[in-house]
Amino acid sequence: MACEWVPEAANPRKLIGTITRRSRVPALKSLLLLLSCALCAVAVAAAPTSVIDMHGRTALVTGSTSGLGEVVARRLGGMGATVIVHGLDEARGRAIAAEITSAGPGRATFEPGDLSSLEEVRKLAARVRAAHPRLHLLINNAGILAKSGEPRRESKDGHELSFAINYLSHFLLTRELLPQLEAGAPARIVNVASGAQTPMHFDDIMLERAYDSGTAYAQSKLAQVLFTVSLAQMLDPARVTVNALHPATMMNTPMVIDNGLKPRSSVEDGANAVMQLAVGSALTGRSGLFFNQMNESRANAQAYDAGARKRLWDLSVALTGKRPRQP
Ligand SMILES: NC(=O)c1ccc[n+]([C@@H]2O[C@H](COP(=O)([O-])OP(=O)(O)OC[C@H]3O[C@@H](n4cnc5c(N)ncnc54)[C@H](OP(=O)(O)O)[C@@H]3O)[C@@H](O)[C@H]2O)c1
């Protein structure tokens, strides 16, 4: 079976065809595809060797109350960063922040915020802006994978839930925090996407006509990559970079375990890949890229289709009620 992401060395035409045909496969098949990506994983994850100094720098990691985000937040604290832990579970978030501070040399605070509500996203951004006029690192990591067979769900704003939480909330959060990232330049944005990627169904982007959880997840994850490439073209890479990645396949996190799937890799593998984009010296000034774990790679072809990117950008601006940012 082939992965849904498109490695540079692969035959793009064959894989693009595969992606298109699989754009509405049932959830079980999509999850099997996700699982099969383990067979395609060629990179052996390792921590980046040369890293930037995070002392005195501030990082927001969405979805750091568990799984991949938690490990990344702890690592950033261990490098001396001021970390903003974010998630839904307040008790756990506060405990993780306290542990990061007590372990040092960095420190952490917790910011709650339900990403299924655009109003909550705006409030989260406002609190971050007030407490941190300069932001150096934004890791858009929070995400959901709805259980196979579950009925379609909507966000508080009436958007398909995976699209809303995995993509649209981060589109809004990033744009709300761009002034603080620019004030913190050089700054970085890391979008934690996935190898599971399905082109946008522009005729039914909220999947009202034909929903399955695997398609919803894969569409939302590719949306993050389209956003990455679009935003990179609007920003000066000497000031703010934005890159996306597939962190690792079937990590041993609640997302995988709660879906009854068998982990194929460790959360440490995924954290190494995220850390490379977040703090690796080699990524300085490099933007608009997609990484498959530790290796620079190619995402689904739609990410490099300027027309599709503009369509998603304009739609996202309309859905979040904001005017487009001019390049
Ligand atoms: N696991 C994998 O193998 C894998 C593979 C490829 C990509 N990824 C991506 O990696 C990222 C992290 O995944 P993971 O495996 O670490 O997942 P996870 O353990 O389930 O953690 C998800 C995080 O997102 C937060 N979150 C979920 N819904 C939220 C909402 N409505 N508002 C605010 N926060 C919310 C959770 O907060 P609470 O716990 O507080 O609810 C949690 O902190 C995701 O974007 C995922 O798509 C994962």
Q: What is the pLDDT of residues 271-321, one digit of tens each?
A: 999 999 999 999 999 999 999 999 999 999 999 999 999 999 999 999 999
The whole-angstrom separation of Cα 179 and Cα 192 is: 21
- Distance in Å, CA 141 to ligand 1 centroid: 7
Q: Across all residues in the chain, what is the average pLDDT?
A: 88
Atom number of ligand 1 nearest to Cα 92: 40
Asked whether the beta carbons of 170 and 223 are under 8 A apart, the reply is: no
pTM assigned to the model: 0.89
**Strand ranges (DSSP E) for 88-184?**
107-112, 137-140
Which of 153, 250, 255 best tests ligand 1's pocket when mutated (most atoms within 8 Å of CB)?
255
**Ligand 1: nearest atom to the Cα of 192:** 45
**What would the pLDDT profile of 218-250 be if each residue is shown by its tens digit?**
999 999 999 999 999 999 999 999 999 999 999
Ligand 1 centroid distance, CA of 63 (Å): 6
Residue in 5, 35, 68 to alter for ligand 1 test, most ligand atoms within 8 A of Cβ = 68
Confidence of residue 46 (pLDDT cuts 50, 70, 90): low
Lining ligand 1 with CB less than 6 A are 63-69, 87-89, 113-116, 141-144, 165, 192, 194, 246-247, 249-251, 253-256
Burial of 9 (0-12, 13-18, 19+ CB in 10 A): exposed
Give 67 Cα–ligand 1 centroid separation in angstroms.
7
pLDDT in tens, 4-42: 333 222 222 222 222 223 334 444 444 434 433 433 333
* pLDDT band at residue 197 using 50, 70 and 90 as cut-offs: very high
Omega of the bond prior to 186 within 30 degrees of 0, cis?
yes
Nearest CA to ligand 1 atom 23: 63
| Residue of 89, 195, 189 lying closest to 140 (CA atoms) | 189
Question: Of all protein residues, whose CA lies closest to atom 25 belonging to ligand 1?
Answer: 63
Q: Is 217 a catalytic site residue?
A: yes
∠ CA(302), CA(313), CA(18), 5° rounding? Answer: 15
